[in-house]
């Protein structure tokens, strides 16, 4: 994994449908407006422009996000330099489904972009990860639980991306390889989860999101942090596993009255639920685990995706060759410690500098 | 979804099949010239009305649109009477004087199809206020389309429902076209659920081709309203198989658009595959319903054709109701 990219073009996948599912009704989950999503992309473009990165390729959509972004760029060109970036929208059929994200990810890999900016939650990142190979993702959390993407202001994510693409610091700490959970059904369906694979007793994929915790039977977690929202919080409060640890966690659950222990977990924003824990154990990298439920639904990173029955063989495996992400904090910190941002002035004149914030960024 | 028993699954399929066959038959009969006035058909959108109305009782009220046949059937209005109404016959639900766009059955909680685009949402605020003042756990559902979503009446109603915390659910059936205008061109906020936030209510988007997705989402929205949680907005993304009205040349649609939708997104096909694959129902169970519904629609048309139109002296009756 070479930390210095060959390409300085940027791919952008901004999921217009994240944070709109049924959890708006059953919890206090927020909804990121289309206008704000366009603003976020604009702020990234502003920052990229300051680095002289002049090419971005974006997934198109029919939900108004691209249209709003274009309006922003046209109407604010006097305020900032976002419009100076050559923004290309992929010429693909728009299905307004996850297929758009999958196709965009595949094309970005074919075109060898330097990085892919992802606006979405856990489900969006999972979809992007399926086809982009080792191209680093830069995460902007606009989903519901956002256990995988860390929260970053878009301007700072763009700043880290610019540092990375321009090679202003050369450190392995900028990019991180993530773990991944891979699941196969009868050796022919293959899918993945970046945070959690849940097995519920639901019959149907239905409204996709998992919010009825009484139906939750098994969890396989690539990592689980104590300060997380969503199903991974169950593992995070029980037996935390960091993103770097070379193991994961398996948790078996049942009705709290039947279990030796329970915990109260924040399973969605503003929604705590008492979870009955039957058992938990670490899972190892590269080992096949056969699930214990006879039938139900497989939920990947919070979305019910695959219905299975007793005749299906479902195998779960934790692996260490998941997608690559750019560590925004580490990158900016590394650049700061290297003096990238500092302009040393001598006798009232500008001296040598590696990078200087132009006025357009300071006042835009 | 485990609460959906075999009987409930059969009920859902029968409801969707009845709407589909009813609309397909009206399409055919209208083309033959047997039906007066305008008709706007709901075929393709069955999972929405069914997935929502299966949660309702007769005390719950709905208001509909010019495309109201599906909502009527899902709310339990008699199919024989509906067909006669569309034919303009005395035996119709409204004695043949309302026609397709004004079918109403208050006993069933169906407050009426509505020829005014955006006419339904204000009415549902009245329903919500009634339930709230009487202390019932009843709810009101306003169905409207992406075209009505831009009407001031709709936006005012959403505001009022929030201010008064009414048990109302605003259901945007976004079939992509307001008459001939694509919603991509005409709705400034293309994700309609976004607008809910502006009124301080939760908004969510659901795939209207999937009965199970609609059923789950509607169940939560309705339960929330019954429990005093107030209004919410559900955007159901779906497609209609026919034109805006019968006779619409649909030059604004791709030539193969509907064919592709029927092959890939048909809610009845999706439902059948899911329940059969899950070993919950047999094909034969569903085939039997197909036969029964076909017979019912035949019977409805025969009775409608045989019935008399309203007498001249009846024309000014049933105009006002005394409470």
Q: Please provide the DSSP assignment of B64-80 as one string.
A: --SS-HHHHHHTT--HH
Query: Is A303 at the interface with chain B, CB within 8 A?
Result: no
Query: Is B224 at the interface with chain A, CB within 8 A?
Result: yes
For residue A358, the model assigns a pLDDT of 47
Closest C-alpha to A174, from A114, A85, A113: A114
Query: Is B29 at the interface with chain A, CB within 8 A?
Result: no
State yes or no: pLDDT of A346 exceeds 70: no
Domain(s) labelled CATH 3.40.50 in chain A stretch across 10-178+323-363
Residue A64 — pLDDT band, cuts 50, 70, 90? confident
Give, for B305, the enclosing helix (H) or strand (E): helix B283-306
Closest C-alpha to A361, from A51, A99, A146, A124: A51
Query: Is B85 at the interface with chain A, CB within 8 A?
Result: no
- A15, A41, A63, A128, B115 from A95: Cα distances, Å: 12, 21, 11, 16, 32
User: Average pLDDT of chain B?
Assistant: 94
Q: Which domains does chain B have, with CATH numbers?
A: 6-305 (3.40.50.970)
For residue A4, the model assigns a pLDDT of 59
Query: Is A70 at the interface with chain B, CB within 8 A?
Result: no
CA distance B250 to B259: 13
For residue A344, the model assigns a pLDDT of 77
**B202: chain A residues, CB-CB within 8 Å:** 24-25, 31
State yes or no: pLDDT of B322 exceeds 80: no
Of A16, A22, A206, the CB nearest to B204: A22
CA-nearest residue to A30 within chain B is B202
CATH architecture of A180-319: Sandwich (2.60)
Query: Is B280 at the interface with chain A, CB within 8 A?
Result: yes
Query: Pairing between strand A55-58 and A86-89?
Result: parallel
CA distance A297 to A202: 6
- Minimum distance, in Å, between the CA of residue A24 and any CA atom of chain B: 6
Rounded (10°) CA dihedral B28, B31, B33, B37: 100
- A30, B16, B68, B275 from A203: Cα distances, Å: 27, 20, 31, 9
Give, for A162, the enclosing helix (H) or strand (E): helix A154-165
CA distance A174 to A323: 14
Of A31, A203, A307, the CB nearest to B193: A31
CA distance B245 to B83: 17
Query: Is A25 at the interface with chain B, CB within 8 A?
Result: yes
Q: What is the DSSP string of A97-109?
A: SHHHHHHHHHHHH
Residue of B175, B220, B279 to mutate for A, most A C-beta atoms under 10 A: B220
**SS3 state at B134:** helix
Termini Cα distance of chain A: 35
Mean pLDDT of A31-50: 91
Residue A348 — pLDDT band, cuts 50, 70, 90? low
CB contact under 8 A, A307 and B277: yes
Mean pLDDT of B262-280: 94
State yes or no: pLDDT of A362 exceeds 60: no
CA atoms within 13 A on the CB side of B288: 7
For residue A81, the model assigns a pLDDT of 78
Give, for B221, the enclosing helix (H) or strand (E): helix B211-226
DSSP state of B249: -
Residue linked to tokens 């398996």:
A250
CA-nearest residue to B212 within chain A is A206
Q: Tell me the two tokens of residue B209.
A: 């081709």
Which carries the bigger pLDDT value, residue A21 or residue A83?
A: A21
Rounded (10°) CA dihedral A191, B264, A97, A176: 20
DSSP state of A29: -
**B278: chain A residues, CB-CB within 8 Å:** 203-204, 307, 309
CA distance B52 to B34: 32
Domain(s) labelled CATH 2.60.200 in chain A stretch across 180-319
State yes or no: pLDDT of A185 exceeds 60: yes
**B221: chain A residues, CB-CB within 8 Å:** 25
User: Average pLDDT of chain A?
Assistant: 89
Percent of chain A's residues with pLDDT above 70: 93
CA atoms within 13 A on the CB side of A319: 14
CATH 3.40.50 given to domain A10-178+323-363: yes
- A127, A241, B154 from A124: Cα distances, Å: 5, 22, 32
Residues in chain B: 323
Residue B91 phi/psi, 5-degree rounding, is -80, 5
Q: Tell me the two tokens of residue A115.
A: 């990085």
Residue linked to tokens 């969510």:
B204
CB contact under 8 A, B194 and A31: yes
Give, for A254, the enclosing helix (H) or strand (E): strand A247-254
**SS3 state at B118:** coil
Termini Cα distance of chain B: 41
B69 in Cβ contact with B114 (< 8 Å)? no
For residue A18, the model assigns a pLDDT of 85
CB contact under 8 A, B193 and A20: yes
Residue A313 — pLDDT band, cuts 50, 70, 90? very high
CB contact under 8 A, A63 and B190: yes
State yes or no: pLDDT of A325 exceeds 90: yes
- Minimum distance, in Å, between the CA of residue A273 and any CA atom of chain B: 17
């Amino acid at each position: 994994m070479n930390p210095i990219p060959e390409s300085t073009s940027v791919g952008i996948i901004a999921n217009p449908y994240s944070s709109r599912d049924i959890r708006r009704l059953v919890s206090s989950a927020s909804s990121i407006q289309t206008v704000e999503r366009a603003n976020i992309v604009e702020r990234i473009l502003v920052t990229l422009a300051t680095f002289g990165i002049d090419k971005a390729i974006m997934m198109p959509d029919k939900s108004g996000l691209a249209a709003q972004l274009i309006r922003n760029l046209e109407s604010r060109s006097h305020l900032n330099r976002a419009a100076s970036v050559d923004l290309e929208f992929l010429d693909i059929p728009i299905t307004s489904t996850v297929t758009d994200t999958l196709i965009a990810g595949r094309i970005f890999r074919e075109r060898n972009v330097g990085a892919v900016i992802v606006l979405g939650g856990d489900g969006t990142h999972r979809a992007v990860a399926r086809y982009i190979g080792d191209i680093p993702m830069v995460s902007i959390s606009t989903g519901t639980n956002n256990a995988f993407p860390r929260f970053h202001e878009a301007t700072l994510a763009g700043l880290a991306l610019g540092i990375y693409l321009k090679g202003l610091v050369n450190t392995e700490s900028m990019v991180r390889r993530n773990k991944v959970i891979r699941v196969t059904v009868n050796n022919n369906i293959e899918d993945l989860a970046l945070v959690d694979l849940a097995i519920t007793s639901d019959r149907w994929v239905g409204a996709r999101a998992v919010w009825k915790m009484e139906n939750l039977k098994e969890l396989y977690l690539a990592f689980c942090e104590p300060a997380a929202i969503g199903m991974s919080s169950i593992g995070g409060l029980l037996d935390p596993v960091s993103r770097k640890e070379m193991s994961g966690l398996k948790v078996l659950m049942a009705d709290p009255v039947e279990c030796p222990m329970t915990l109260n977990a924040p399973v969605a924003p503003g929604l705590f639920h008492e979870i009955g824990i039957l058992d938990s154990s670490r899972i190892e990298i590269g080992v096949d685990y056969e699930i214990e439920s006879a039938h139900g639904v497989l939920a990947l990173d919070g979305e019910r995706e695959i219905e299975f029955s007793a005749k299906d063989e479902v195998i779960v495996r934790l692996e260490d060759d998941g997608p690559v992400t750019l560590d925004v904090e580490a990158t900016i910190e590394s650049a700061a410690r290297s003096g990238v941002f500092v302009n040393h002035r001598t006798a009232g004149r500008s001296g040598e500098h590696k990078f200087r914030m132009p006025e357009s960024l300071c006042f835009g | 979804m485990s609460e959906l028993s075999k009987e409930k699954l059969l009920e859902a399929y029968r409801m969707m099949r009845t709407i589909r066959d009813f609309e397909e038959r009206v399409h055919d009969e209208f083309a033959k010239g047997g039906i007066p006035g305008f008709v706007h058909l709901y075929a393709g959108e069955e999972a929405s009305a069914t997935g929502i109305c299966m949660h309702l009782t007769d005390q719950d009220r709905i208001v509909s649109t010019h495309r109201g046949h599906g909502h009527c059937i899902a709310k339990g209005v008699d199919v024989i009477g509906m067909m006669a109404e569309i034919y303009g016959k005395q035996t119709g639900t409204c004695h043949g004087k309302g026609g397709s766009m004004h079918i109403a059955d208050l006993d069933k909680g169906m407050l009426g199809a509505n020829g005014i685009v955006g006419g339904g949402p204000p009415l549902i605020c009245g329903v919500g206020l009634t339930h709230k003042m009487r202390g019932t756990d009843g709810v009101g559902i306003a169905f409207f389309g992406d075209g009505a979503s831009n009407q001031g009446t709709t936006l005012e109603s959403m505001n009022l429902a929030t201010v008064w915390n009414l048990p109302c659910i605003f259901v945007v059936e976004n079939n992509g076209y307001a008459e001939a205008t694509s919603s991509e061109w005409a709705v400034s906020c293309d994700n309609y659920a976004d607008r809910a936030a502006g009124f301080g209510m939760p908004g969510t988007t659901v795939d209207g081709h999937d009965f199970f997705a609609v059923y789950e989402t509607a169940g939560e929205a309705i339960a929330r309203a019954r429990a005093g949680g107030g209004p919410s907005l559900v955007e159901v993304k779906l497609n209609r198989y026919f034109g805006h009205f019968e006779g619409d040349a649909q030059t604004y649609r791709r030539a193969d658009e509907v064919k592709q939708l029927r092959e890939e997104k048909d809610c009845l096909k999706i439902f059948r595959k899911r329940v059969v694959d899950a070993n919950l129902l047999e094909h034969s169970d569903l085939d039997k319903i197909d036969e029964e519904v076909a017979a019912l629609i035949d019977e409805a048309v025969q009775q409608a054709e045989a019935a008399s139109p309203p007498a001249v002296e009846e024309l000014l009756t049933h105009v006002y109701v005394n409470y």
